Amino acid sequence: MLVQPYTIALRHIRLDLLAIDEALDRLALIDEQQARIVELRFLLTDRTPVLHTGQHLGNYEIISTLGKGGMGQVYLALDTRLGRKVALKLLPFSNALDASHVQRLEQEARTASALNHPNIVTIHEIGEADSIHFMATEYVDGETLRQRMLNTELSIRELAAIAVQIASALRAAHQAGIVHRDIKPENIMLRSDGVVKVLDFGLAKGSGNSDTERGLIMGTTAYMSPEQARGEAVDARTDVWSLAVVIYEMINGRVPFTGETHRQVVNQILHNEPPAFESAVPDELKQIVLKAYLRVEPARSAAR
């Protein structure tokens, strides 16, 4: 009569083992699903919609590829409604899934479209077609300042004309309460007729606003002002600092603050004085660049 308890116990053990097997199967399924999700996220990361010549996106017909900007792929396209060429900026799939990136695209459009200035690129439209978020802007037939500096040595007259036009664009933005926050050679286009266009207001914000509450540092390291590198609130002076860096680079062929890592560059920006000019330039131009640096660092200026 002692067999029955053992039989009942064995039955419970078998049931427990079956439950464990079922639980393991469910875990395996969950792991497989999670792995697939990770794989899909990986496939989507930094993947930009690929468009080909002749393909249409809404009212735009793709002509060729222009390059890749900070937020996505850029194409040369024809606006079939108005018969004009435009630069068509597309968001990567992964960014399009992120509401903040879509908001940044919309922010860039609103910011730049609010500025009516001959040295600021014109925004034509922001939209979505075939699940692709895009922005159509004025097409600037020319080259970036980066390309110009790589291909030729700028004369004092040329770099002064470029600097004056960038400063004019920034002055208009600052009067409208807008800080660009990412002035660098890649965001400056030079037309063949000598007209300068400032691009990419994707990082622009109203003066006095910042992302420091979220601990974000926005911009490109080598061109950051000290307060920008610290993640502090920025105003118009941060663009003045970045312009000074660009002018220094046009003169000397390199940026004033360098390093192998982001941290090293930031450390130089925060603690070092701008290095001496390596090329012979008029004293007036040197004073303009040095004054631009000092305007951003009131404490450093007062110490002198």
Residue type, 85: K
Listed residues 138, 157, 190: the one ending a domain:
138
Catalytic residues: 182
CA distance 200 to 239: 14
Check residue 149 and give its pLDDT: 95
Q: DSSP secondary-structure letter at 116?
A: -
Q: What is the mean pLDDT of each run of 10 residues along the chain (304 residues)?
A: 53 58 62 54 57 93 83 87 93 60 69 84 87 88 94 92 96 90 93 93 53 47 89 88 93 89 89 80 83 57 38
In a domain, 35, yes or no: no
Same domain, 94 and 160: no
Same domain, 161 and 254: yes
- Residue 191 three-state SS: strand
Number of domains observed in the structure of the chain? 2
Same domain, 205 and 186: yes
Check residue 10 and give its pLDDT: 53
Same domain, 277 and 199: yes
Where are the alpha helices (H) located in the chain, listed in sequence order? 3-44, 93-96, 99-113, 145-151, 156-175, 226-229, 236-252, 262-271, 283-296, 298-303
Check residue 130 and give its pLDDT: 85
Check residue 168 and give its pLDDT: 96
Tell me the pTM.
0.73
DSSP H helix total and E strand total for the chain: 10, 11
In which domain, by residue range, is 277 found? 142-303
Q: DSSP secondary-structure letter at 195?
A: -
Domain harbouring 87, CATH code:
3.30.200.20
Same domain, 119 and 219: no
In a domain, 190, yes or no: yes
In a domain, 38, yes or no: no
Same domain, 112 and 234: no
Same domain, 168 and 104: no
Listed residues 109, 138, 167: the one ending a domain:
138
Check residue 75 and give its pLDDT: 94
